[in-house]
Structure 1
């Protein structure tokens, strides 16, 4: 194909490579856009659910999908014997733990897991953490979240006593002497235990996904430009 003094004459292999690479980068860009849209949708659901009054959990096994981000009110007692600590959680750049404690909810007659909040790690990580306990019957307000999350386990030693690398719900449930509902409650009210309760927004990271999408679109554009430059030749007159 000739355009004045220039000729466009691509060969088969570079053309196929260009098509594959652009298709891949466009796929990755659109995947990042979808991830950003999903997180914004979750935030919209969260904002909507927070306008509703707190409800009680059902007595039967709750569906975390249907109750996701619902504000709930619990009344009962914590089971501190089976409390665990999720390691490597950061707050304002400082390392610490999430404190996960089973809670016997008198309203529903069932046990649920409560993320009580963030506890700073001590200067000596060899000393096990110990969060302040709130004995007796108390009232808890919280937000329903899913106990299942994607994570990478860095080693086979994912559990060291009461310190866990991640919250693996099924694994944890097998250590309890009772059934526990498949939901995780993020506590939001203060129970004078000194824990920090500042939770990530559901749309956290949406801007990052948008940035990645822009980068993939830029790479696709660069591939196309390089392909054209390498395959357009000046024709001697």
Structure 2
């Protein structure tokens, strides 16, 4: 039993180190790509995964009436939504879903916050983000009226609604933008390394207890 617990604690420690290394690598890629020269998306029809985290520039207009609200987003300990509005490029038919940032929920979930509309032609700059192909909750988007609340963003959702296969996460101070919330990673590598240290510490403690008990038996 003790051997099993020791092995489990060691495994959890190395697992956290691996996660920390992956997050560090992802953050490095994001920093490199997001600081590169922006891509003018009006001039390119097909954007693939190789352009993930590059900056993009678009010209066109928002489809204001058909906004989605990504639920349960936390900012400064307050619950709210990330505002996702379709954006039609001047020379393309499929809209890009634009993450405009965070807004507070309001008094309760039933109260839909007022979202400011941008009705004229605009130019936006942001980061191209392909949502990961991971587990996702069912999005009940068949509810009446707009804006519609959703639980997650995933490739199937974008495809079903005939959006481009990526999001454009706008940078601060852009027309129609709100509080920036999105980050490439939700938990910093240092936190994973700290968790690994805790697991290794517990495994060492368990080993010392076992060794001490064994010595006293002799």
Q: Which band: TM-score by shorter chain? A: 0.7 to 0.9
Q: Deviations over 1:80-132 (max 9, x none)?
A: 23210011112222221100112122366542211011111222432223311
Map of 2:116 onto structure 1 = 132
Identify the residue that residue 213 of structure 1 maps to in structure 2.
196
Give the aligned length.
Answer: 212
Q: Deviations over 1:16-61 (max 9, x none)?
A: x33332222111111111111111111111221233111123312x
Question: For residues 46-61 of structure 1, what are the structure 2 equivalents within 5 Å?
Answer: 46-57=30-41, 58-60=44-46
Change (3 A) 1:124 1:27: closer
TM-score between the two structures when normalised by the length of structure 2: 0.84
1:131-170 matches, cutoff 5 A: 131-148=115-132, 153=137, 162-170=148-156
Give the Cα separation in 2 of the matches to 1:41 and 1:183. 21
Unaligned stretches of 5+ residues in structure 1: 1-16
> Hey, what does 1:84 align to over in structure 2?
68
Of residues 51-60 and 196-205 in structure 1, the stretch that sits farther from structure 2 once superposed is: 196-205
Q: Which protein has greater RCO, CA pairs closer than 8 Å, 6+ apart?
A: 1
Q: CA RMSD in A?
A: 2.5
Distance in 1 separating the partners of 2:131 and 2:24 = 20
Structure 1 length-normalised TM: 0.78
Query: Judging changes above 3 Å, is the alpha-carbon distance between structure 1 residues 137 and 86 closer, same or farther for their aligned structure 2 residues?
Result: same
